[in-house]
A and B are shown apart, each in its own frame.
Chain A
Protein backbone atom coordinates (compact mmCIF):
# COMPACT_ATOMS: atom_id res chain seq x y z
CA UNK A 1 0.00 0.00 0.00
CA UNK A 2 0.94 3.63 -0.21
CA UNK A 3 1.91 5.49 2.92
CA UNK A 4 3.42 8.76 4.08
CA UNK A 5 4.68 8.97 7.67
CA UNK A 6 5.60 12.13 9.55
CA UNK A 7 5.55 13.08 13.25
CA UNK A 8 2.24 14.37 14.56
CA UNK A 9 3.63 17.32 16.50
CA UNK A 10 6.92 19.07 17.19
CA UNK A 11 7.90 21.99 19.42
CA UNK A 12 10.79 24.39 18.81
CA UNK A 13 12.05 27.72 20.08
CA UNK A 14 11.96 31.02 18.21
CA UNK A 15 15.28 31.62 16.44
CA UNK A 16 16.24 27.93 16.46
CA UNK A 17 16.40 25.29 13.70
CA UNK A 18 13.94 22.41 13.32
CA UNK A 19 13.95 19.37 11.02
CA UNK A 20 10.67 17.67 10.10
CA UNK A 21 11.12 14.15 8.75
CA UNK A 22 8.95 12.27 6.28
CA UNK A 23 9.19 8.70 5.06
CA UNK A 24 7.21 7.61 2.05
CA UNK A 25 6.11 4.47 0.32
CA UNK A 26 4.35 5.06 -2.98
CA UNK A 27 3.66 2.96 -6.06
CA UNK A 28 6.15 4.60 -8.36
CA UNK A 29 7.65 7.98 -7.51
CA UNK A 30 7.41 11.28 -9.34
CA UNK A 31 8.54 13.68 -6.68
CA UNK A 32 8.04 14.83 -3.09
CA UNK A 33 6.22 18.01 -2.08
CA UNK A 34 6.12 20.00 1.14
CA UNK A 35 3.26 22.34 1.94
CA UNK A 36 2.58 24.69 4.86
CA UNK A 37 -0.90 25.01 6.31
CA UNK A 38 -1.87 27.57 8.93
CA UNK A 39 -4.89 26.72 11.08
CA UNK A 40 -8.14 27.36 9.21
CA UNK A 41 -6.37 28.09 5.93
CA UNK A 42 -5.49 26.29 2.71
CA UNK A 43 -2.18 24.48 2.16
CA UNK A 44 0.46 26.59 0.41
CA UNK A 45 3.38 25.19 -1.59
CA UNK A 46 6.85 25.24 -0.02
CA UNK A 47 9.11 22.92 -1.99
CA UNK A 48 9.43 20.11 -4.50
CA UNK A 49 12.19 17.50 -4.79
CA UNK A 50 12.47 14.89 -7.50
CA UNK A 51 16.24 14.29 -7.45
CA UNK A 52 18.37 13.32 -4.44
CA UNK A 53 19.88 16.15 -2.49
CA UNK A 54 19.12 19.43 -0.82
CA UNK A 55 17.01 22.27 -2.24
CA UNK A 56 17.41 25.58 -0.43
CA UNK A 57 14.91 28.43 -0.50
CA UNK A 58 15.73 31.16 1.98
CA UNK A 59 15.07 29.95 5.53
CA UNK A 60 13.53 26.70 4.26
CA UNK A 61 15.40 23.72 2.78
CA UNK A 62 14.15 20.31 1.70
CA UNK A 63 16.14 17.12 1.30
CA UNK A 64 15.35 13.91 -0.57
CA UNK A 65 16.86 10.42 -0.56
CA UNK A 66 15.02 8.24 -3.05
CA UNK A 67 16.92 5.08 -2.08
CA UNK A 68 15.78 5.48 1.54
CA UNK A 69 12.26 6.76 0.78
CA UNK A 70 13.04 9.71 3.03
CA UNK A 71 12.74 13.46 3.00
CA UNK A 72 13.07 16.26 5.50
CA UNK A 73 12.12 19.90 5.70
CA UNK A 74 14.59 22.14 7.52
CA UNK A 75 13.42 25.46 8.91
CA UNK A 76 16.08 27.92 10.12
CA UNK A 77 15.82 31.08 12.23
CA UNK A 78 12.34 30.13 13.35
CA UNK A 79 9.78 32.87 13.64
CA UNK A 80 6.45 32.78 15.47
CA UNK A 81 4.65 32.92 12.11
CA UNK A 82 6.18 29.52 11.26
CA UNK A 83 3.73 27.94 13.72
CA UNK A 84 1.66 25.82 11.33
CA UNK A 85 1.19 22.29 10.07
CA UNK A 86 3.68 20.99 7.51
CA UNK A 87 2.36 18.47 5.01
CA UNK A 88 4.52 15.95 3.15
CA UNK A 89 3.10 14.48 -0.08
CA UNK A 90 4.49 12.01 -2.62
CA UNK A 91 3.48 11.98 -6.29
CA UNK A 92 2.81 8.39 -7.31
CA UNK A 93 2.97 6.60 -10.65
CA UNK A 94 -0.61 7.73 -11.47
CA UNK A 95 0.44 11.34 -10.82
CA UNK A 96 -1.74 11.51 -7.73
CA UNK A 97 -0.47 13.08 -4.52
CA UNK A 98 -0.42 10.81 -1.47
CA UNK A 99 -0.53 12.98 1.65
CA UNK A 100 0.80 12.55 5.16
CA UNK A 101 -1.41 13.62 8.07
CA UNK A 102 0.83 16.63 8.69
CA UNK A 103 3.23 17.74 11.43
CA UNK A 104 1.95 20.48 13.72
CA UNK A 105 4.88 22.74 14.58
CA UNK A 106 4.58 24.81 17.75
CA UNK A 107 7.03 27.68 18.15
CA UNK A 108 7.70 28.95 21.67
CA UNK A 109 9.23 32.37 22.43
Chain B
Protein backbone atom coordinates (compact mmCIF):
# COMPACT_ATOMS: atom_id res chain seq x y z
CA UNK B 1 0.00 0.00 0.00
CA UNK B 2 1.70 3.22 -1.12
CA UNK B 3 -0.92 5.79 -0.09
CA UNK B 4 0.53 9.19 -0.93
CA UNK B 5 4.02 9.79 -2.23
CA UNK B 6 5.85 13.08 -2.57
CA UNK B 7 9.01 14.00 -4.43
CA UNK B 8 11.58 15.20 -3.81
CA UNK B 9 12.14 14.43 -0.11
CA UNK B 10 14.19 17.57 0.25
CA UNK B 11 15.56 20.29 -2.00
CA UNK B 12 17.81 23.32 -1.76
CA UNK B 13 16.87 25.91 -4.35
CA UNK B 14 18.31 29.23 -5.44
CA UNK B 15 15.95 32.19 -5.23
CA UNK B 16 14.30 32.96 -8.55
CA UNK B 17 14.31 29.35 -9.75
CA UNK B 18 11.17 27.47 -10.75
CA UNK B 19 10.35 24.29 -8.84
CA UNK B 20 7.60 21.67 -9.00
CA UNK B 21 6.80 19.48 -6.02
CA UNK B 22 5.16 16.23 -7.00
CA UNK B 23 2.34 14.42 -5.21
CA UNK B 24 0.70 11.14 -6.22
CA UNK B 25 -1.95 9.09 -4.43
CA UNK B 26 -3.21 5.62 -5.26
CA UNK B 27 -6.33 5.61 -3.06
CA UNK B 28 -8.62 7.05 -5.75
CA UNK B 29 -9.40 9.94 -3.43
CA UNK B 30 -11.39 12.79 -4.94
CA UNK B 31 -9.93 15.63 -2.87
CA UNK B 32 -6.28 16.68 -2.60
CA UNK B 33 -4.53 19.45 -0.70
CA UNK B 34 -1.20 21.24 -0.39
CA UNK B 35 -0.11 22.62 3.00
CA UNK B 36 2.98 24.30 4.29
CA UNK B 37 4.18 23.87 7.86
CA UNK B 38 6.42 26.43 9.56
CA UNK B 39 7.75 26.39 13.12
CA UNK B 40 5.26 27.77 15.61
CA UNK B 41 2.45 27.95 13.09
CA UNK B 42 -0.31 25.53 12.24
CA UNK B 43 -0.53 23.85 8.87
CA UNK B 44 -1.63 26.41 6.30
CA UNK B 45 -3.56 25.48 3.20
CA UNK B 46 -1.99 26.66 -0.06
CA UNK B 47 -4.28 25.17 -2.71
CA UNK B 48 -6.82 22.40 -2.87
CA UNK B 49 -8.73 20.33 -5.40
CA UNK B 50 -12.12 18.85 -4.51
CA UNK B 51 -12.16 16.69 -7.64
CA UNK B 52 -10.09 16.10 -10.76
CA UNK B 53 -10.23 19.10 -13.10
CA UNK B 54 -10.96 21.67 -10.38
CA UNK B 55 -8.69 23.65 -8.06
CA UNK B 56 -9.15 26.35 -5.44
CA UNK B 57 -7.07 28.79 -3.42
CA UNK B 58 -6.41 28.26 0.25
CA UNK B 59 -5.14 30.61 2.92
CA UNK B 60 -1.68 31.30 1.43
CA UNK B 61 -1.80 30.80 -2.38
CA UNK B 62 0.45 33.65 -3.55
CA UNK B 63 3.55 32.48 -5.42
CA UNK B 64 2.17 28.96 -5.93
CA UNK B 65 0.11 27.27 -8.63
CA UNK B 66 -1.42 23.80 -8.97
CA UNK B 67 -3.08 21.62 -11.56
CA UNK B 68 -5.26 18.51 -11.29
CA UNK B 69 -5.30 16.83 -14.68
CA UNK B 70 -6.25 13.43 -13.24
CA UNK B 71 -7.35 11.83 -9.96
CA UNK B 72 -3.93 10.65 -8.83
CA UNK B 73 -1.58 13.61 -9.33
CA UNK B 74 -1.53 17.08 -7.81
CA UNK B 75 1.73 18.95 -8.52
CA UNK B 76 2.58 22.24 -6.80
CA UNK B 77 4.68 24.76 -8.71
CA UNK B 78 6.70 27.67 -7.36
CA UNK B 79 7.13 29.94 -10.40
CA UNK B 80 9.99 32.00 -8.95
CA UNK B 81 11.07 30.84 -5.51
CA UNK B 82 11.71 33.32 -2.68
CA UNK B 83 13.37 32.67 0.73
CA UNK B 84 10.01 33.05 2.54
CA UNK B 85 8.90 29.88 0.76
CA UNK B 86 11.42 27.89 2.79
CA UNK B 87 9.17 25.40 4.59
CA UNK B 88 8.04 21.81 4.86
CA UNK B 89 5.35 21.05 2.28
CA UNK B 90 2.77 18.34 2.84
CA UNK B 91 0.36 16.93 0.30
CA UNK B 92 -2.81 15.29 1.61
CA UNK B 93 -5.84 13.56 0.17
CA UNK B 94 -9.32 12.57 1.32
CA UNK B 95 -12.14 10.53 -0.19
CA UNK B 96 -14.44 13.55 -0.01
CA UNK B 97 -14.29 17.06 1.43
CA UNK B 98 -15.73 15.98 4.82
CA UNK B 99 -13.55 12.88 5.15
CA UNK B 100 -10.28 12.30 6.97
CA UNK B 101 -7.23 13.71 5.25
CA UNK B 102 -4.19 11.45 4.84
CA UNK B 103 -0.79 12.99 4.46
CA UNK B 104 2.26 12.29 2.34
CA UNK B 105 5.75 12.19 3.93
CA UNK B 106 6.49 15.84 3.08
CA UNK B 107 9.09 17.79 1.11
CA UNK B 108 11.58 19.95 2.98
CA UNK B 109 12.36 22.96 0.76
CA UNK B 110 15.07 25.51 1.42
CA UNK B 111 15.25 28.63 -0.76
CA UNK B 112 18.52 30.53 -0.55
Chain A positions within 8 Å of B, measured between CB atoms, are 4, 30-31, 33, 41-45, 48, 87, 89, 91, 95-102
Which residue of chain A has its CB nearest to the CB of B35? A99
Complex contacts, B103 vs chain A, CB 8 Å:
42-44
Looking at the complex, which one of A41, A48, A87 makes contact with B43 (CB distance below 8 Å)? A87
Pull 15 A–B residue pairs with CB atoms less than 8 Å apart, ordered by A: A4-B42, A30-B98, A31-B98, A33-B100, A33-B101, A41-B106, A42-B90, A43-B103, A45-B101, A91-B98, A96-B45, A97-B45, A98-B42, A101-B41, A102-B42
B90–A43 contact, CB under 8 A? yes
- Closest chain-A Cβ to B46's Cβ sits at a distance in Å of 11
B101–A97 contact, CB under 8 A? yes
Bound-complex Cα distance A102 to B100 (A):
18
- Flag whether B102 is at the interface (Cβ < 8 A): yes
State the interface size on chain B (CB cutoff 8 A).
Answer: 19
Chain B 79-104 per-residue mask, 1 if CB under 8 angstroms from chain A, else 0: 00000000000100000011011111
Complex contacts, B40 vs chain A, CB 8 Å:
101
Which residues of chain B (28-64) have a CB below 8 Å from chain A? 40-45, 48, 50, 58
Complex contacts, B45 vs chain A, CB 8 Å:
96-97
- Closest chain-A Cβ to B26's Cβ sits at a distance in Å of 16
Complex contacts, A44 vs chain B, CB 8 Å:
103
Complex contacts, A96 vs chain B, CB 8 Å:
45, 48, 58
Which residue of chain B has its CB nearest to the CB of A47? B100
- Flag whether B75 is at the interface (Cβ < 8 A): no
Which residue of chain B has its CB nearest to the CB of A3? B42
Bound-complex Cα distance A44 to B48 (A):
19
Looking at the complex, which one of B43, B48, B105 makes contact with A99 (CB distance below 8 Å)? B43
Bound-complex Cα distance A64 to B5 (A):
33
Which residue of chain B has its CB nearest to the CB of A6? B42
- Closest chain-A Cβ to B25's Cβ sits at a distance in Å of 13
A42-B90, A43-B90, A96-B58 given as contacts; is B42 within 8 A of A87 (CB)? yes
Which residue of chain B has its CB nearest to the CB of A2? B59
